[in-house]
């Protein structure tokens, strides 16, 4: 990779808009190879590791990946004029114009949502061909039994005639189960239970592929760890850029 303007480099790394970065640089808060620079057009080597903001080194990353515990009441979209989106839930330091959600959780569903800047990775993660398991905690309005587990294992015919891939239902309470599916049709878990005569009253995604929600609080977000990024690319049979 060749050299690029300092403000463009910092913009790619998520430090703000072109205007904000101009002010940041002209204020003398950025150094290149240990020297303070005040010209936003200063050429820098992105892979050189010589840029620092307020004394903190800025390491180049080609792509960014964020794990969000999506709360209910927000839609999975980058922007919407009428409803709050998942992008508005992210803390300012994690918001980037090129970040987008991988798949969808409907407005009332909570849980793990991955956001990335890598379109190739997103495509692989969403394709049924790559069989990325997605696990959900579901609470329904009627008792669950062995017949429901068998139905999930066989694949369920939805209201439009589509038959889902086989999945799993592990009953963990009278009206509560852990669901694992390998595709991502619109409202799939809710529609699978509806086909069995049950209405989902609460739904939370617990994991997707190698990513696990864990104890991340509702509404909180964090960058993926390097180990998570490596596991994610490996699960999609892609080399980590």
**pLDDT at position 10 over 90:** no
Other residues' Cβ atoms within 10 Å of the Cβ of residue 227: 9
Distances in Å between the alpha carbon of 98 and those of 30, 94, 124, 216, 224?
23, 11, 18, 24, 16
What is the bridge-based pairing of β-strands 134-140 and 110-116? unpaired
Band of the pLDDT at 7, cuts 50, 70, 90? confident
* CA gap 162, 147 in Å, rounded: 20
Mean pLDDT of the chain: 91
N-term to C-term CA, the chain? 13
Percent of the chain at pLDDT above 70? 99
Band of the pLDDT at 176, cuts 50, 70, 90? very high
What average pLDDT score do residues 94-100 get? 85
Q: For 97-154, give the DSSP string.
A: TT-EESS---TT-EEEEEEES-HHHHHHHH-GGG---EEEEEEESS---HHHHHHHHH
**pLDDT at position 165 over 80:** yes
Residue written as tokens 């892979």? 47
Which of the residues 98, 106, 141, 148 is marked catalytic? 106
What average pLDDT score do residues 165-194 get? 96
What torsion do the CA atoms of 52, 49, 227, 130 make, to the nearest 10 degrees?
110
Band of the pLDDT at 63, cuts 50, 70, 90? confident
pLDDT of residue 85: 96
pLDDT of residue 206: 98
Lowest-confidence pick of 22-36, 89-103, 169-183: 89-103
**pLDDT at position 19 over 70:** yes
Percent of the chain at pLDDT above 90? 70
pLDDT of residue 100: 94
Is 106 among the residues known to form the active site?
A: yes
pLDDT of residue 226: 83
Q: Is the dihedral of CA 40, 46, 49, 53 positive or negative?
A: positive
pTM here is 0.79
**pLDDT at position 159 over 90:** yes
Task: Judge contact between 178 and 135, C-beta under 8 A.
Answer: yes
pLDDT of residue 1: 55
127 or 35, which is more confident = 35
Highest mean pLDDT among 54-68, 95-109, 170-184: 170-184
What average pLDDT score do residues 38-47 get? 88
Contacts of 188 (CB under 8 A, 6+ apart): 158, 164, 181
Please report which helix (H) or strand (E) contains residue 207, including its range: strand 200-208
Band of the pLDDT at 127, cuts 50, 70, 90? confident
**pLDDT at position 75 over 60:** yes
**pLDDT at position 190 over 80:** yes
């Amino acid at each position: 990779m060749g050299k690029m303007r300092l403000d463009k480099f910092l913009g790619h790394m998520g430090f703000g808009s072109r205007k904000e970065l101009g002010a940041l640089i002209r204020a003398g808060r950025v150094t290149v190879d240990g020297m303070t620079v005040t010209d936003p057009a200063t050429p820098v080597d992105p892979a050189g590791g010589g840029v620092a903001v307020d004394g903190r080194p800025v390491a180049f990353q080609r792509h960014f990946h964020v794990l969000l515990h999506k709360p209910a009441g927000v839609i999975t979209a980058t922007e919407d004029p009428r409803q709050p989106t998942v992008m508005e839930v992210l803390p300012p330091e994690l918001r980037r114009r090129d970040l987008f959600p991988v798949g969808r959780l409907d407005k009332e569903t909570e849980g793990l949502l991955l956001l990335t800047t890598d379109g190739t990775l997103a495509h692989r993660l969403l394709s049924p061909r790559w069989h990325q398991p997605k696990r959900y905690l579901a609470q329904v309005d009627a008792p669950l039994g062995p017949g429901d587990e068998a139905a999930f294992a066989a694949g369920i015919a939805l209201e439009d005639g589509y038959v889902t891939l086989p999945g799993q239902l592990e009953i963990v309470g009278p009206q509560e189960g852990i669901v694992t599916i390998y595709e991502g049709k619109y409202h799939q878990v809710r529609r699978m239970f509806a086909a069995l005569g049950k209405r989902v009253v609460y739904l939370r995604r617990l994991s997707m592929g190698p990513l696990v929600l864990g104890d991340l609080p509702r509404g909180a977000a964090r960058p993926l760890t390097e180990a998570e990024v490596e596991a994610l690319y490996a699960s999609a049979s892609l080399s980590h850029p």
